[in-house]
Amino acid sequence: MIRSLVFDFDGVILDTETPFFKSWQEIYQEHGHDLSREDWGTMLGSFSDPQGPYDLLEKYLGSPLDREQLRRKRLTREMELLKTETLLPGVESLLDEGLRLGLTLAVASSSERAWVTTHLERLGLLSHFECIMCAEDVQLTKPNPDLYLAVCSTLGLQPTQAIAFEDTLNGILAAKRAGLYCVAIPNPITQYQKMSEADLVVASLEDIDLEELMIKAQDRR
């Protein structure tokens, strides 16, 4: 029986990925180069500050960057862009429906805990989640299964009793390696990644009928 819904945070609950991408895109443009969505999509899902964008820009420039100075500048711009972001479509109704059906709600994120909880509190959702596992809680983040296994262990569940919601290939791989049923919701940033490892791919959380989804997840066993 399905007993829990486990959400990735960035790109599933809140579109933090578009501001993240735009802030990096602006950095590249300042240096006379472009950062494509295709290249960006390959760099997501494992770390909150991936080294791939630095590496690629240094390759283009042929010289090293002051990464810490660049990180601070880019982060300031990212925070400015994030102020306008609200919940992604379907999130609130899916959380409410999960609670109505007696399911526990959890977060499994490769981002730092302060990042996740600060945004959840701002959005008025922090109290909805019984368990939040973040980068500090495991040795290896996605695509390794540790975050999802930690959530299941904390909640006293078998992985087959939970459904994961992810938007990146690394997240999907983490959920599947842990043994969860996984729903993929690709966004404009991650749509270039292969999502074939997911059990179900939807355009939006608004498209999900939770009771039907729970039946599908139970039947796959």
By DSSP bridging, strand 162-166 and strand 4-7 are: parallel
User: What pTM value is reported for the model?
Assistant: 0.84
Q: Are 27 and 70 in contact (CB under 8 A)?
A: yes
The radius of gyration of the chain from alpha carbons, rounded to an integer in Å, stands at 17
Contact 162, 179 (CB under 8 A): no
Q: Distances from the Cα of 178 to the Cαs of 150, 172, 173, in angstroms?
A: 10, 10, 8
Residue 26 and residue 77 in contact, taking contact as beta carbons nearer than 8 Å: yes
pLDDT tens for 116-157 read 999 999 899 999 999 999 999 999 999 999 999 999 999 999
Instruction: Verify whether residue 8 is a known catalytic residue.
Output: yes
| Span of 82-86, 113-117, 153-157, 215-219 with lowest mean pLDDT | 82-86
- Assign 221 a pLDDT band (cuts: 50, 70, 90): low
DSSP letters of 23-90? HHHHHHHHTT----HHHHHTT-SS-SS-SHHHHHHHHHHTS---HHHHHHHHHHHHHHHHTT--BPTT
Which residues on adjacent β-strands are paired with residue 163? 5, 181
Beta-strand relationship, 104-108 and 162-166: unpaired
- Cα-flanking dihedrals φ and ψ of residue 87, to 5°? -55, 140
- For residue 47, the model assigns a pLDDT of 63
Which residue among the candidates 10, 15, 167, 199 is catalytic per the annotation?
10
**Would you give the DSSP letter of residue 208?**
-
The predicted pLDDT at position 18 comes to 85
**Catalytic pick among 8, 15, 167, 199:** 8
